Amino acid sequence: MIFTIILFLLGFVLITEGADIFIESTISVAKKTNIPEIVLGATIVSLATTFPELTVSAFASIQGHTTMSLGNAIGSIICNTGLALGLVAMIKPFKVDKKIFNSKAILLIISVIVLIILGMDKTIGRMDAMALIGLLVIYMINNYNSIPKTGSRRTSNATNIEYSKSSDMIKLVVMFVIGITMMIIGSRLLVNNGIKIAEVLGVPQAVISLTVIALGTSLPELVSCLTAIRKSHNAISVGNILGANILNIVSVIGLSSFINDIPILKQTSMVDFPFMILLLLILIIPTFIKQKIYRFQGLLMILTYIIYISTLYFTYID
């Protein structure tokens, strides 16, 4: 049991450190190629920070642990919104770009509605996966079309840096590969040993995936958001969370259900979905109206997250 816990913690460290290396190398490439901030936050950063969820859920689905695949994705959305963005809002409330926020929020709402509709037959299968992947294409097109709306603002002032220097690019590619490798190994350690811990403690797979594993894979979002806020890159922060939440549905659940059919358990429809929807409403509705994320929203999101974790504990753990 002790060795299993050590491997689980090792996976936790590998996946978070690997994500950090991956993000840093990705951001460096983005800066050197002068990618606009909106694209950086909504695509590159969110894709990078969602990669742990994608690898964890994909490996879980390949191994036949489909409830863990869905639980990890939904748990990450809840953790991203309730904990990561909740903490950010509590620390430093900030205004948002109305057009960009609204477009991403609407896509997130549509993704949630589609997911719930697809799951009404209690299973998300391969045909459902195709619909989710279709939404992924729409999301990417939306990001591309958002570029003119934000002007020509860049994430780096060093526009005269020549990114074509072979030594710099080789270093970035190496770090990129190292980051991905660490996340893949870490995700496998998390899944395999998370299952063992769940079995020993008598905890359902869905519960441990919705809490410990979801928190572990959501740490890149939390760290990147806090860093972005500290550097006054608010658009990257909120864009990262909205983008990551959308990607958790359309890519993580989409890929996992394409690999293996995912059953919708009773606790998922009765507990996880309602809390996910509540958190997203707390985030989206006031921000739609005022174009600002307030401290009281952060407090409500954190409290909702705590209630959610408490509900899981008292519902599933003796």
For strands 123-124 and 262-263, give the pairing. antiparallel
What is the DSSP-derived secondary structure letter of residue 1?
A: -
Give the 3-state secondary structure of residue 92: coil
Average pLDDT of every residue of the chain = 81
Helical residues (DSSP H) of the chain, grouped into ranges: 2-32, 37-39, 46-62, 66-79, 86-91, 98-118, 126-146, 166-201, 205-208, 214-230, 234-247, 254-259, 266-267, 273-290, 295-316
**All structural domains of the chain with their residue ranges:** 2-149+163-316
Banded model confidence at residue 52, pLDDT cuts 50, 70, 90? confident
pLDDT digits (tens, 9 = 90+) for 219-278: 677 777 777 777 676 777 788 889 999 999 999 999 999 999 999 888 888 889 999 999
Domain 2-149+163-316 is classified in which CATH homologous superfamily?
NCX, central ion-binding region (1.20.1420.30)
Give the integer Cα–Cα distance in Å for 259 and 245.
20
For strands 94-95 and 262-263, give the pairing. unpaired
pLDDT digits (tens, 9 = 90+) for 144-192: 777 654 444 444 444 444 545 567 778 887 887 898 788 778 877 877 7
Give the CA dihedral 231, 85, 112, 314, nearest 10 degrees: 160
pTM, 2 dp: 0.77
Tell me how crowded residue 87 is: count the other CB atoms within 10 A of its CB: 18
β-pair partners for 124: 262
pLDDT at 210: 61
pLDDT digits (tens, 9 = 90+) for 64-116: 888 778 888 898 899 899 998 998 899 888 888 788 788 889 999 999 999 99
β-pair partners for 262: 124
Banded model confidence at residue 280, pLDDT cuts 50, 70, 90? very high
pLDDT digits (tens, 9 = 90+) for 188-207: 787 778 778 877 887 776 66
